[in-house]
Amino acid sequence: MLRMSTLFLRTLRDDPADAEVASHRLLVRAGYIRRIAAGIYSWLPLGYITLRNIERIIREEMDKAGFQEVHFPALLPRDAYEKTNRWSEYGADIFRLQDRKGGDYLLGPTHEEMFTLMVKGEYSSYKDLPLSLYQIQTKYRDEPRPRSGIIRGREFVMKDSYSFDLTDEGLSQSYNKHRDAYIKTFDRLGMRYNIVSAMSGAMGGSRSEEFLAPCPTGEDTYVLCEKCGYAANVEAMKTVVVAVDFSSAPKMKIVDTPDTPTIDSLVNVLNEKFGSGYTGAQTLKNVLLIADGKNISVLVPGDREVDLKRLEANLPGVKEIRLFEDSDFAKNPSLVKGYVGPQDAQKFGLTVYADPRVAPGTSWVTGANKKDRHALNVVNGRDFTVDDYVDAAEVRKGDTCPECSAPVVIDHAIEIGHIFQLGRKFAQALDLTVLDSDGKSRVVTMGSYGIGVSRAVAAIAEQTHDEIGLCWPAEVAPAQVHIVATGKDDNPFNVADSLALTLEKLGVSVMLDDRRDASPGVKFKDAELIGNPIIVVVGKALAEGKVEVRIRRSAERREVLIADAASEIAKLLP
RNA sequence: CGGGGCGUAGCGUAGUGGCUAGCGCGCCUGCUUUGGGAGCAGGAGACCGAGAGUUCGAAUCUCUCCGCCCCGACCA
């Protein structure tokens, strides 16, 4: 039982000046967390209980699914990360340190290597598979910009699991088992979430889905089709390529378009000289970039920007990408800034990527590769050649769903889980093989599954709080019931105490405000701020032998007889 | 890393060259009070982020550094 008279807790009346988002503000005000440095927080009793509640739920669901818990050090030697190249690839995001002998160490940002090596050390037969292991661990990443309190920290708690299988079908099954376990976990955590198609990112791999908790302060943007349920991270959103018949398209024509280096200026001149009706959507934007040292051109409709994140995510193998600068134009005189067109692009040494919206057979107004001149009726497949199609244009609300063609909506969310099929990358690099039934050695295939545990505290707070405080789901809250004793006589305190004991016997966790020196107003405000789901007030109603039961979330109140209170309250809980 | 803002007591803040740095919350003592962040009286708590400089005199002006927040870049 948590007794407020002795609980290590000080709530704050004012919002902390350095907190912006609701979860951060309220977790600090309600005395759950305190900032130590940017992106690094301490957990006070209430916060730590909440965090452990979430861990407990995750553990229970992982164990139920048959996954086994292990634990690695957070402090790791360099060599394991050397073999997979990540000592260098992870770059500045890794916290590095040295021991007294000058040996290199790191604080683990993620533990693929350790899991792979652990399995390699113990298992060597196909009969040992499939296997899934997990850990709940503090991870460290030197984020360029920690933000939003506990949502994006430099130290954070994560549950990560890995599955080990012999075959692709096996991996698929392990993946689905994790997916099911995640659904059960997030349901119990009382979160709203969407499972969206995602890119597996820098880790490589194939199938990938994210669990996104919608909320306005979320950093992730995703599309959702309300008609068919299709959901995808914007990076992973697919656009269907639909070829158009161009046999009746008029011939390409070069026209004078003085001073039209931008889409807006071009549209104005087109409308002045060739009649109205031209819009940016009919023009073709040629965005020149340098991808790992090679010049590429990305074609998107003129009314859309290139989404560099999407482009990068959809150009596998490309590490670094940047826009053309003036010096790059200087090196390539055939490329005229503001008047670039895809005609002859390959002759100029460009690789041409087109967004699927620039479908085969579509006709465009685009640059003529000469200053102050543009070309009309430039048809894809007739007047220029696309080397490859790649999703690169910004995604907008109302874009068509790739599954059912209905308009999609766009929303923000916090990424709380990510599951993906890693494949054989790490097993290959670290030589994790098992002998198959034919006596041949085979590389194991892996899946990777993460849940942001400390982030979930913030995400739940974001989704459930209101103007007056936190508002936890019952399984997550520091206590399921918050009993407030009011008045100056001993009686209410005695009644509250015995009610608390009765509830605990029923398996209900209780926080008891037994402070004799605090006024009722203070106790009510604190109870609401702290956010336990049921608040019981023992005070005035005692005159009729009753206590008041309040539902924090709905603010609903009712009075029940003391004798019935414990069983009535227990009924309200899951 | 680019742009913007900020650093004064545990928290929120006032103080643009001149007395001993002010206020609210919180904290301590006493009395009163107890259903919506109580009242009165007394009290403790600040090397004004750090260093250097200008000045008779610096929280206040200058420079450097450090830290924090926000936007962007970045990000299993």
pLDDT by 10s per residue, chain A, length 574: 999 999 999 999 999 999 999 999 999 999 999 999 999 999 999 999 999 999 999 999 999 999 999 999 999 999 988 888 888 888 888 999 999 999 999 999 999 999 999 999 999 999 999 999 999 999 999 998 898 999 999 999 999 999 999 999 999 999 999 999 999 999 999 999 999 988 755 555 578 999 999 999 998 999 999 999 999 988 888 888 889 999 988 999 999 998 888 888 899 899 888 877 888 899 999 999 888 888 899 999 998 888 888 888 888 777 778 888 777 888 888 888 889 999 989 999 899 999 999 999 999 999 999 999 999 999 999 999 999 999 999 898 899 999 999 999 999 999 999 999 999 989 999 999 999 999 999 999 999 999 999 999 999 999 999 999 999 999 999 999 999 999 999 999 999 999 999 999 999 999 999 999 999 999 999 999 999 999 999 999 999 999 999 999 999 999 999 999 999 999 999 8
Chain B nucleotides reached by a protein CB under 7 Å: 1, 6, 10-13, 24-26, 33-38, 67-76
C-alpha–C-alpha distance, residues A58 and A453, integer Å: 9
Between CA A29 and C1' B12 the distance (Å) reads 12
In chain A, CATH 3.40.50.800 sits at: 481-572
Between CA A208 and C1' B73 the distance (Å) reads 25
Tokens of A469: 């405080």
Between CA A145 and C1' B75 the distance (Å) reads 9
Hits for CB < 7 Å against strand B across A residues 414-433: 418
C-alpha–C-alpha distance, residues A211 and A193, integer Å: 6
Q: Which nucleotide is nearest to A39 if distance is taken from CA to C1'? A: B68
A209 CB inside 7 Å of strand B: no
Angle at A478 between CA A475 and CA A481, to 5 degrees: 80
Q: Which CATH architecture has domain A481-572?
A: 3-Layer(aba) Sandwich (3.40)
Give the model's pLDDT for residue A445.
96
Between CA A418 and C1' B76 the distance (Å) reads 8
Q: CATH number of the domain at A253-389, please?
A: 3.90.960.10
C-alpha–C-alpha distance, residues A304 and A72, integer Å: 47
Between CA A14 and C1' B16 the distance (Å) reads 27
Q: Which nucleotide is nearest to A550 if distance is taken from CA to C1'? A: B35
C-alpha–C-alpha distance, residues A339 and A258, integer Å: 10
A121 CB inside 7 Å of strand B: no
C-alpha–C-alpha distance, residues A397 and A221, integer Å: 11
The phi, psi pair for A235, rounded to 5°, reads: -60, -35
Domain A17-223+410-462 fold: BirA Bifunctional Protein; domain 2 (3.30.930)
Between CA A93 and C1' B63 the distance (Å) reads 32
- Which residues, at least 6 apart from A163, have a Cβ–Cβ distance to it below 8 Å? A130, A131, A132, A171, A174, A175, A177, A178, A446, A447, A449
A308 CB inside 7 Å of strand B: yes
Give the model's pLDDT for residue A113.
93
C-alpha–C-alpha distance, residues A109 and A513, integer Å: 40
Between CA A17 and C1' B20 the distance (Å) reads 30
- Which residues, at least 6 apart from A552, have a Cβ–Cβ distance to it below 8 Å? A471, A482, A527, A528, A531, A532, A533, A534, A535
Q: Which nucleotide is nearest to A149 if distance is taken from CA to C1'? A: B69
Q: ipTM of the assembly?
A: 0.94
Strands A388-389 and A351-354: parallel
C-alpha–C-alpha distance, residues A63 and A57, integer Å: 10
Cβ burial A487-505 (10 Å sphere, 16+ → b, else e):
eeeeebbebbbebbebbee
Give the model's pLDDT for residue A201.
53
Between CA A135 and C1' B12 the distance (Å) reads 41
A21 CB inside 7 Å of strand B: yes
In chain A, CATH 3.90.960.10 sits at: 253-389
A168 CB inside 7 Å of strand B: no
Between CA A17 and C1' B8 the distance (Å) reads 14
Between CA A517 and C1' B28 the distance (Å) reads 14
Give the model's pLDDT for residue A561.
97
Q: Which residue is closest to B73 in terms of CA–C1' distance? A: A144
- Determine how many CB atoms are found less than 10 A away from the CB of residue A322: 10
- Which residues, at least 6 apart from A289, have a Cβ–Cβ distance to it below 8 Å? A295, A296, A297, A298, A311, A321, A322, A323, A324
A406 CB inside 7 Å of strand B: no
